[in-house]
Amino acid sequence: MLALHAHRYYVLDDPQIPDAEYDRLFQELQAIEAAHPELLTADSPTQRVIGQVLPGLRPVRHAVPMLSIDTETDTTPEGARKFDARVRSALKLDEAAPSVEYAAELKFDGLAMNLRYESGVLVLAATRGDGETGEDVTQNIRTIGQIPLRLIGVDAPVLEVRGEVYMRRDHFERLNDQQREKGEKTYVNPRNTAAGAVRQLDPAATATRPLSFFAYGLGEVQGWEVPATHAGILDAFAAMGLPVSADRAVVQGAEGLIEFHVAMGAKRDALPFDIDGVVYKVDSRALQQQLGFKTREPRWAVAHKYPAQEQMTVVRDIDIQVGRTGKLTPVAKLEPVFVGGTTVSNATLHNEDATRRKDVRIGDTVIVRRAGDVIPEVVGVVLDRRPADVGEPLDLYKRLGGKCPICGSAIAREEGEVDWRCSGGLFCPAQRKQAILHFAQRRALDVEGLGDKLVDQLVDAGVIRTLPDLFKLGLASLNALDRMGDKSAQNLLANLEKSKRTTLARFLYGLGIRHVGETTAKDLARHFGALDRLMDASLEHLLDVPDVGPIVASSVRTFFDQPHNREVVEQLRAAGVSWGESDGAPEASAPKPLAGKVVVLTGTLPTLSRDQAKDLLEAAGAKVTGSVSKKTDWVVAGAEAGSKLDKARELGIAVLGEDELLALLAAPG
């Protein structure tokens, strides 16, 4: 069993169990062999580094074997202390002896690689394989831009550099996005994607995968003076032009190891690549030689793992949750499992397409991943454990009967989108908090003092159920809330009263109609002038509005086709929310010196906020967009302007400062 899973992991790059499960089986085999030495065989997985040469790739005999290192699975500080104790014992150091100096670095989750340089030129790249014989992947490795084809300042006859080929998480996500756009299979994780890319028979295929590399060790060396410490070797690598991780340190004794382990554990989820632990190495090469090896591993190094981020469990059911924006998310109800440092019983399946692509069904054994504070997710199915009575593939619409499980409104999925959504909007309890916060934000009705925590209290206490309830609040109901003083309550009521007088554009934006942002709300208000005309507008009339396309028009029509949304609008008007019908185009009679001009804002202006500048420009007739193109007339740039400023200069577009903008706005039309 262990050999089978090892073959899938190392040879086929298609593991069917998580690393933690493999480690458990490996440790179980070690224990059995220790208790029954007569069962130990030369071909046991514990006696060699697993792997084989794939057909089609030329075998390469390593001049110096590529051995693995021991793994310390005790993820507590005790794991570091155990290693330090073993080293001190092997070196015969008593308690009075100074601390051992260690090089501490990251344990990358990728594919081990040996790079052979002759006279400073890359001549061969080989995978680890079985440790004795690997695979020639030179042409593929040449496609990785991080790996130098010639070393800087090195002309030694032979210098073999060992390290890890890996894929950054952002590159992995981008690759999967491209796969989805092409309608092709997505990849499960960065490690196996990197390994598969390296072992392609066609280097052109490898070149399409965004791979990276870190150097961390030596193989055969001829004619190069090896530094006296491991840290010195890494520094030398960096000077040669080889990529070396900056997350490394030389530390003193067990406490230094523990400090590094804790620090990297806290940083783990923020790293742009995956690690599953850290590696400790006795820094002195002289002490390394003195310590030597045991069977398959050096005594002077160990990998100290973190809590497993992947585990196996069973899907007991699939629920559909409604998010704050109406998005419907399938959630796997799991047999509870300890993963990522906590017990997990729910894991997101993201959406119907992702669930069907992974073919997750009720009754399946799945691999669950939880990294740090990230929501647990199902990353794959263990197909060889699928029961005969497994459920059907997920059909979200059929499962819900086409209706939101919370409010009963129709669910819809726009063309080209992966997410189903509840159309209940203002009416749906699951979307209530989001709807209130959006309605009250500064760019909408601008209710100062109505923030996240207060909305949570109001909704959770049942004081507010719909938007019109905001304008029914009184001092008594507010004073009953925790940490709500009389003065704060009075200020909030005054701000609510003030917010009732608004503009049609702000009101439309505040309703939270999908795809209707500030600019579109202004376009709709200008075009129709009155809310009733907009609510009754046909799709054809909506499409007459400048910059309103089929998706926006359909979204507006769907919103106002829901009786409960119309009812909320009428209740808001009855509560006193109002605007003049001319508010649809409040600046119609004002001069428009920038009519038809397209402007982009970037950076921080000296006195104007981004919103203030945008308001001034739009009042002058300009259209403010978020990206620079050939259609852009001006880019208004402030401090710390970024890529938009670079793009403007590249396209020869005029760049204005705040003073020039104000002068432009003051000029006669």
pLDDT tens digits along 345-389: 999 999 999 899 889 999 999 999 886 666 899 988 998 899 999
Which amino acid, one-letter code, is at 485? G
The CATH code that applies to domain 89-305 is: 3.30.470.30
What's the pLDDT at 607? 87
What's the pLDDT at 540? 93
CB burial class (10 A; 0-12, 13-18, 19+) of residue 604? middle
The domain 424-589 is classified under which CATH number: 1.10.10.10, 1.10.1740.10, 1.10.150.20, 1.10.287.3510? 1.10.150.20
Measured in whole angstroms, the distance separating CA 135 from the mean position of its chain's CA atoms is 33
Q: Cβ–Cβ contacts within 10 Å for residue 480, how many?
A: 12
What digits encode the pLDDT tens for the residues 53-82? 556 789 999 999 998 899 987 889 999 999
The more confidently predicted of residues 585 and 113 is 113
Q: Of 355, 328, 380, 357, nearest to 16 (Cα)?
A: 380
What's the pLDDT at 52? 55
pLDDT band at residue 589 using 50, 70 and 90 as cut-offs: very low
Q: Which residues pair with 163 in a beta bridge?
A: 113, 215
As a whole number, mean pLDDT of residues 446-463 equals: 91
CATH superfamily placement of domain 598-666: BRCT domain (3.40.50.10190)
Ranked by mean pLDDT, the top range of 32-46, 413-427, 561-575 is 561-575
Average pLDDT over the chain reads 88
What's the pLDDT at 80? 97
What is the distance between the alpha carbons of residues 135 and 60, in angstroms, rounded to a whole number? 6
> In the chain, which segments carry CATH 3.40.50.10190?
598-666
What's the pLDDT at 496? 96
Q: Which residues are catalytic?
A: 107
Whether the per-residue pLDDT at 668 is higher than 70: the answer is: no
Whether the CA torsion 9, 12, 13, 15 is positive or negative: it is negative
The domain 1-47 is classified under which CATH number: 3.30.70.270, 3.30.565.10, 1.10.287.610, 1.10.10.10? 1.10.287.610
Q: Which of 28-42, 202-216, 504-518 has the lowest mean pLDDT?
A: 28-42
Whether the per-residue pLDDT at 586 is higher than 70: the answer is: no
CATH superfamily placement of domain 310-400: Nucleic acid-binding proteins (2.40.50.140)
Whether the predicted model's global pTM rises above the 0.75 cut: no
> In the chain, which segments carry CATH 1.10.150.20?
424-589
